[in-house]
Chain A
Amino acid sequence: MARPRRLVACCTVALIGLLSLRLQGQVTSQRLTSANSEPQNWLTYSGNYSSHRFSLLDQITPANVKNLELQWVYQAPVAGNWQTTPIVVDGMMYITQRPNDIIALDAVTGRLFWIYRYTPNPDRIVCCGANNRGIAILGDTLFMGTLDANLIAVDAKSGRQIWKTEVASTTAGYSITHAPLIVKDKVIVGVGGGEYGIRGFVAAYNVNTGKEAWRFYTIPGPGEKGHETWEACPPKSDGFCDPDAWKHGGGSIWMTGSYDPKLNLTYWGVGNVGPDYAGAQRPGDNLYTDSVVALDVDTGALRWHYQFTPHDVYDYDSVQVPVLVDNWGRTGIDALVWANRNGNYYALDRATGKFLLGRPFVKVNWMSDFDERGRPNQTPQPPGQPTYPGNQGGTNWYSPSFSPRTNLFYVSAWEDYASIYGPSPVEYRQGTNFTGGGPRPFGPVPGAPSFQRAPINTWTESAGHGAVLALDVATGDQKWKFAMTDVTDSGILTTASNLLFAGGREGYFQALDARTGALLWKTNLGGAINSGPMTYRVGNKQYVATVSGLSLFVFALKE
């Protein structure tokens, strides 16, 4: 009997070993693809490849959410708008803080294991908040894009840098602010800099070496399909027209894309055209700005595109996180749904790009309707008159959420919000602002002090407000609305227990009933919530985390 006993002991040891490996095991490509099967973890920026920002965890429910209490706080030492979402792997949390630090924490206590500090080039040129929104993981390696347009691999156990690759020139206005997307053996990133006249691209790099595998330019060059949409200047231009507009046509990438393993396609939202407002100097539709592009993940080849705002003059970046919905509206179509900065909610066939649905979710007056192929009929407003939605959009980069339980799509919106646009010609100069004019808020009191938002909200009801909107994913019908007084830049998290978590600029962190929008719980965290909440479980306890102001707050149910 000794031998069987020894066998059992050996098996037990092996099992424990396997379990412990699992507890702190490598994040394989398969685990990323099957992220929904391990809801205790939050393995990618949006929670899964479909970017639902939805969790199957259900310990916290509408009935007990009132019992949430603070577990721990991590206070960042760097001031400034903090837009990151952590990832959690088997009890370990990894989070970025400004400018390009990575921190490894115990997800239960908030105690730190290590900090990786990266100092971006002091001559970097980064627009609009100079943020980092997160990291990606594969194996034991973390991947981060930097403000000076480098891609860095860091050992997840030691916090030591493994490799660094320059993606683009920071002095020419390129940067990386979003969390990379890992697919198979590639780490995929895009470049920001739409206000500096960059030529945008998405590129894939080998996870082991950092060597570039492919690159897709969001502004097609001569001879490439789509280049014809950068039309020649008319022979007699009234104003300044740039015959080389495509060379600095923008098309930045500053939010993380999505991935469909079945189609082997990765989807990325493309930012505004450059210059933002001076449309006369870049005739044509200006592809692929303000578009979604579907790329073969192995080659980077363009499979299809859809342009939300042709020839944009409003800065309607289409960088929103692409959300993949299977069997959309029970049609059998696997769709990609999208609440765009231009104020419309869209559904597209994600295999072909076919336009399925487009309709406003906020007030829109820059267009009237769509033709049968989904091209908007644009209705430019007279000079000096307000355009809805305004410059910051009906929504913006704030992560939406899709709940397969409610079949609702949730988006943070700015309602009744407009801007008055004042375009002006601008010549490209490397590394300098290239917007071509600028918008001003549509407000009722010319000559009065500029509007302010939090902490004193002088904008009030006169110039727009925030809301969480719940849209029927198949029709875009608004099912409910949770209105806020101030606007919101918060992402949204939903869970299998029909909870929705969201914040806003006012600093409240709220739990709503995802079915009805009813407020179930709130706490005032004191600082604007500009990132997307996430959830994870360690042991038997479910946690909900959100960044507010300069701090990361983590909640769980009272013991």
Chain B
Amino acid sequence: MRTGFAMAVVTIVVGAIGVLSAQAPTQPLDDARGKPLHDAQYPDVDIALGAKLYGSRCITCHGAQGDAIGGVNLRSGKFRKAITDRDLATFIRAGSQSAGMPPFALDDTDMAGIIAYLRNMNTFDTATVKAGDVVRGRAIFEGKGACGTCHRVGRTGSRVAPDLTDIGSVRSAGSIQRSLLDPTSQMMPINRPVRLVMKDGTIINGRRLNEDTYTVQVIDDRERLRSILKADVKEFTISKASPMPSYKTLSSEELADLLGYLLSLKGQ
């Protein structure tokens, strides 16, 4: 059995992973030397995306169990002509005229998903993958997580951090998951915290909303919309570190529930 925390805890129904679309996370197909990656390095969200793609693109020929073509057992995770993940990607993109397999024009994201699934097909059971509990997740969001201190959902919460009302439709599951564990890694550049010291000494701290050559628009830490002329600014600091804390302190079950709740937020 796989040991990744999310595999054990975060369960995602395949039918519910439409959000994974083409913006699901990507992993390097292999390292710089072409060394095969160990299966533990494939994120579960990639595997889930791959399962979905497999179901739409591959299953007709290879079958649900990956063994519908004689002499080819995809569930083995091993392939005669494809040792590394890069080999596998090349093969899938090129197809095989002799074997009657057409080329597949997958982007890197989808390719990473397909490869992650093929490498883990034997242990991945889509039937048991379910989303975390939305109700419990909401309770964590509003309670222990104190997410509303900075974020807003609908008409509740703060506007200091980005509004999450539709986060479940604009971010992939993997991206949300990484946001909870490593917020800085997932912070959109436009959302970066800014600190402006004006020429008159006034200090403005806030979150950037827009910027051009001559101006910057922010929502400050008192939720005021401010448009500032750069000509009036003495110091302009853009922080690449997210002020959001990591939620590694939550249990795996709590994280799964919180993710489930965030994925349920599809806008008004």
The interface of chain A, by Cβ under 8 A from chain B, is 238-240, 382-384, 420, 422-426, 437-438, 440, 444-450, 455-463, 483-486, 504, 506, 508, 522
Distance between Cα atoms of A486 and B107 in the complex (Å): 27
A462 B105 Cβ-Cβ under 8 A: no
Convert B162-174 into 0s and 1s, putting 1 for each residue whose CB lies closer than 8 angstroms to a CB of A: 0000000011101
Q: A438: which of B28, B107, B188, B213 is its contact (CB, 8 Å)?
A: B107
A457 B86 Cβ-Cβ under 8 A: no
Q: Which of B57-65, B70-78, B87-95 binds A?
A: B87-95
A450 B29 Cβ-Cβ under 8 A: no
Set of chain B residues within 8 Å of A440, measured between Cβ atoms: 107-108
Q: A384: which of B25, B29, B95, B171 is its contact (CB, 8 Å)?
A: B29
**Closest CB of chain B to A283's CB: distance in Å?**
15
B:166-199 near A, CB below 8 Å = 170-172, 174-175, 178, 185-190, 192
Interchain residue pairs A-B with the least CB separation, the first 7:
A447-B175, A239-B94, A424-B105, A462-B189, A447-B172, A458-B190, A460-B189
Q: List 24 A-B contacts (CB under 8 A).
A: A239-B90, A240-B94, A383-B29, A383-B86, A384-B26, A422-B108, A425-B93, A425-B95, A426-B105, A447-B174, A448-B23, A448-B188, A449-B170, A449-B171, A457-B210, A458-B189, A459-B190, A460-B189, A461-B238, A483-B213, A484-B212, A484-B213, A504-B213, A508-B213
Q: Known: A383-B29, A460-B189. Is A446-B175 also a contact (CB below 8 A)? A: yes
**Which of A382, A424, A448, A450 counts the most chain B CB atoms within 10 A?**
A448
Distance between Cα atoms of A445 and B238 in the complex (Å): 17
**Closest CB of chain A to B113's CB: distance in Å?**
12
B93 A485 Cβ-Cβ under 8 A: no
Q: Is B235 close to A, CB under 8 A? A: no
Distance between Cα atoms of A239 and B95 in the complex (Å): 7
Q: Is B103 close to A, CB under 8 A? A: yes
Tally of B interface residues using CB under 8 Å: 41
A425 B103 Cβ-Cβ under 8 A: yes
Q: B213: which of A238, A384, A463, A486 is its contact (CB, 8 Å)?
A: A486
Distance between Cα atoms of A39 and B90 in the complex (Å): 58
B190 A460 Cβ-Cβ under 8 A: yes
Beta-carbon nearest neighbor of A420 in chain B = B108
B:93-117 near A, CB below 8 Å = 93-95, 103-109
Q: Is B24 close to A, CB under 8 A? A: yes
**Which of B186, B187, B212 counts the most chain A CB atoms within 10 A?**
B212
Q: Known: A383-B29, A440-B108, A447-B25. Is A457-B95 also a contact (CB below 8 A)? A: no
Q: B105: which of A425, A459, A522 is its contact (CB, 8 Å)?
A: A425
12 further A-B contacts with Cβ under 8 Å, apart from A239-B94, A459-B189, A462-B189, are A384-B108, A423-B93, A425-B95, A445-B186, A447-B172, A447-B186, A448-B175, A456-B190, A460-B189, A485-B213, A486-B213, A504-B213
Distance between Cα atoms of A75 and B199 in the complex (Å): 40
Q: B187: which of A445, A461, A483, A508 is its contact (CB, 8 Å)?
A: A445
**Closest CB of chain A to B55's CB: distance in Å?**
21
Convert B23-53 into 0s and 1s, putting 1 for each residue whose CB lies closer than 8 angstroms to a CB of A: 1111011001000000000000000000000
Distance between Cα atoms of A422 and B110 in the complex (Å): 11
**Closest CB of chain A to B231's CB: distance in Å?**
10
Q: B90: which of A238, A463, A504 is its contact (CB, 8 Å)?
A: A238
Set of chain B residues within 8 Å of A458, measured between Cβ atoms: 188-190
B29 A446 Cβ-Cβ under 8 A: no
Beta-carbon nearest neighbor of A486 in chain B = B212
B108 A485 Cβ-Cβ under 8 A: no
A384 B94 Cβ-Cβ under 8 A: no
The interface of chain B, by Cβ under 8 A from chain A, is 23-26, 28-29, 32, 86, 89-90, 93-95, 103-109, 170-172, 174-175, 178, 185-190, 192, 208-214, 238
Set of chain B residues within 8 Å of A483, measured between Cβ atoms: 213
Distance between Cα atoms of A484 and B215 in the complex (Å): 11
B210 A522 Cβ-Cβ under 8 A: no
**Closest CB of chain A to B177's CB: distance in Å?**
9
**Which of B23, B107, B186, B188 counts the most chain A CB atoms within 10 A?**
B188
Set of chain A residues within 8 Å of B186, measured between Cβ atoms: 445, 447-448
B212 A485 Cβ-Cβ under 8 A: yes
Set of chain B residues within 8 Å of A506, measured between Cβ atoms: 212-213
Set of chain B residues within 8 Å of A450, measured between Cβ atoms: 23
Q: Known: A426-B105, A485-B212. Is A449-B93 also a contact (CB below 8 A)? A: no
Set of chain A residues within 8 Å of B94, measured between Cβ atoms: 238-240, 425
B212 A508 Cβ-Cβ under 8 A: yes
Distance between Cα atoms of A506 and B99 in the complex (Å): 52
Distance between Cα atoms of A461 and B192 in the complex (Å): 11
Set of chain A residues within 8 Å of B172, measured between Cβ atoms: 447
Beta-carbon nearest neighbor of A280 in chain B = B94
Set of chain B residues within 8 Å of A522, measured between Cβ atoms: 214
Set of chain A residues within 8 Å of B90, measured between Cβ atoms: 238-239
Distance between Cα atoms of A504 and B213 in the complex (Å): 10
Set of chain A residues within 8 Å of B104, measured between Cβ atoms: 424
B190 A508 Cβ-Cβ under 8 A: no
Beta-carbon nearest neighbor of A460 in chain B = B189
Distance between Cα atoms of A423 and B95 in the complex (Å): 14
**Closest CB of chain A to B115's CB: distance in Å?**
12
**Closest CB of chain B to A308's CB: distance in Å?**
27
Distance between Cα atoms of A423 and B108 in the complex (Å): 10
B32 A382 Cβ-Cβ under 8 A: yes
**Closest CB of chain B to A463's CB: distance in Å?**
8
Beta-carbon nearest neighbor of A239 in chain B = B94
Set of chain B residues within 8 Å of A426, measured between Cβ atoms: 105
Beta-carbon nearest neighbor of B105 in chain A = A424
Q: Known: A383-B86, A485-B213, A486-B213. Is A240-B95 also a contact (CB below 8 A)? A: yes
Set of chain B residues within 8 Å of A447, measured between Cβ atoms: 23-25, 171-172, 174-175, 178, 186
Distance between Cα atoms of A239 and B29 in the complex (Å): 19
A449 B188 Cβ-Cβ under 8 A: yes
Set of chain B residues within 8 Å of A486, measured between Cβ atoms: 212-213
B189 A424 Cβ-Cβ under 8 A: no
B107 A422 Cβ-Cβ under 8 A: yes
Beta-carbon nearest neighbor of A437 in chain B = B105
A384 B28 Cβ-Cβ under 8 A: yes
Beta-carbon nearest neighbor of B32 in chain A = A382
Distance between Cα atoms of A449 and B109 in the complex (Å): 14
Set of chain A residues within 8 Å of B105, measured between Cβ atoms: 424-426, 437
Distance between Cα atoms of A506 and B209 in the complex (Å): 15
Set of chain B residues within 8 Å of A455, measured between Cβ atoms: 210
B29 A445 Cβ-Cβ under 8 A: no
Q: B23: which of A383, A384, A446, A463 is its contact (CB, 8 Å)?
A: A446
**Closest CB of chain A to B255's CB: distance in Å?**
17
Beta-carbon nearest neighbor of B23 in chain A = A447
Distance between Cα atoms of A449 and B21 in the complex (Å): 11
Distance between Cα atoms of A382 and B86 in the complex (Å): 11
**Closest CB of chain B to A70's CB: distance in Å?**
19
**Closest CB of chain B to A494's CB: distance in Å?**
20
**Which of B24, B105, B192 counts the most chain A CB atoms within 10 A?**
B105
Distance between Cα atoms of A463 and B172 in the complex (Å): 21
**Which of B26, B178, B185, B190 counts the most chain A CB atoms within 10 A?**
B190
Set of chain B residues within 8 Å of A444, measured between Cβ atoms: 189
Distance between Cα atoms of A438 and B106 in the complex (Å): 10
**Closest CB of chain B to A442's CB: distance in Å?**
12
**Closest CB of chain B to A451's CB: distance in Å?**
9
Set of chain A residues within 8 Å of B175, measured between Cβ atoms: 445-448
Set of chain A residues within 8 Å of B93, measured between Cβ atoms: 239, 423-425
B108 A457 Cβ-Cβ under 8 A: no
